[in-house]
Amino acid sequence: MSDMLALDFMRNALLAALVVGLAAPMVGIFLVQRRLSLVGDGLGHVALAGVAIGVVTDSSPVWTALVAATLAGVVIELIRARGRTSGDVALALMFYGGLAAGVVIINKVQGAQTANLTGYLFGSITTTTRADVVVFAALSAVIVVVTVVLRQRLFAVAGDEEFARASGLPVLALNIVLAVLTAVTVVVAMRVIGLLLISALMIIPNAAAQQLSASFRSATWWAVGIGVVSSVGGVATSYYADTASGGTIVLLAIALFAVAVLGGVLRKAVATARHRRAERHPHEHGLECGHEAVEHGDHVDYLHDGHRHAAHEGHYDEHAPPEYDAAGTRPGRGRGDRAGRHTLEDREEVTR
């Protein structure tokens, strides 16, 4: 560990990975919500054209890429807002045009065997300078602040554009803000994991987080955690295993996704085994159902023919009275008891 941290370029690389791992999933969750997971990929293509312009004009590729990706992001939103069916084709033209122009220009200027091109496409984190890290950290800070301040609004617009517009939210403006945030994320991440893989760090941590959470808030936290672990962990792994950092980060994120899926399945299985479903009844418990409501910890139970029903997902659970819970035993009269705990004392069961 300390040998890695003793190297200047590795310290820069790890810092860059940290800020990217933090910022990318925060923006990505809204892309997942809008079902636009691949937009980041497209903006990455266009950013390459920006890099090429930077190479040709001998200016900093980070800023020209930022301008190109931002413009493309805004154009995408304007096309979407017009709701034209040809929009899809327009996006394809823009994305592949950007990638092709970038490759052609960079090869023309620097020769076919340029390491520079590969560096932008797949990341070259070890060439990150201290100045780069400062720029990335500043841009990431902007991303984090804007997404935190506007997260409820971005959530509302991404979830139900029609309602957001009816309630008076500036839908187009918020969509453009999200497009610009995506463009900035692409540029910040291009050195770390490369333009062709950047979308992965925006999307995969969120896909994993969805398996582990039941609310938007907790999904955001999980995604940021998984993003940071895979980007910093990926860079460290690539140092010891001598692998490409960008690819390693993405593979690590996918491995975490697999673990999250497994964890989600296990948790669900345990929850199913530990709770008992109540019998089905056609009405819904609530203020007007006529059954007495009883506080039970953090929720409300309804007294239904002498036993307690608590809402759970699409059904009701049998909840034992607290004294039974404390003793660790269950009353043996739950008719919906699927675990087969009925005993001979349960008369109802015997006569059936």
- Rule CB under 8 A: which residues touch other proteins? 29, 32-35, 149-150, 152-153, 155-156, 158-160, 162-169, 206, 210, 213-217, 219, 282-288, 299-300, 311, 313-314
CB 128, min distance to other proteins, A: 32
Q: Nearer Cβ to other proteins, position 215 or 351?
A: 215
CB 348, min distance to other proteins, A: 25
One-letter amino acid identity for 48? L
Kindly report the number of other CB atoms within 10 A of residue 90's CB atom: 15
CA 245 to CA 237: how far, in whole Å? 8
Q: Nearer Cβ to other proteins, position 163 or 240?
A: 163
CB 266, min distance to other proteins, A: 18
Find where tokens 């109802």 sit: 348
CA angle 327, 330, 331 (to 5 degrees): 115
Q: Nearer Cβ to other proteins, position 28 or 98?
A: 28
Q: Nearer Cβ to other proteins, position 168 or 340?
A: 168
Find where tokens 């938007």 sit: 216
Q: Nearer Cβ to other proteins, position 148 or 350?
A: 148
The dihedral sign for the CA sequence 169, 171, 173, 178: positive
CB 123, min distance to other proteins, A: 27
Asked whether 316 and 310 are in contact (CB, 8 A), the reply is yes
Q: Nearer Cβ to other proteins, position 210 or 231?
A: 210
With CA atoms as reference, report the closest residue to 307 among 290, 289, 294: 294
Helix axes 198-212, 245-274, angle to 10 degrees: 10
CB 224, min distance to other proteins, A: 14
CA 22 to CA 228: how far, in whole Å? 6
CB 159, min distance to other proteins, A: 5
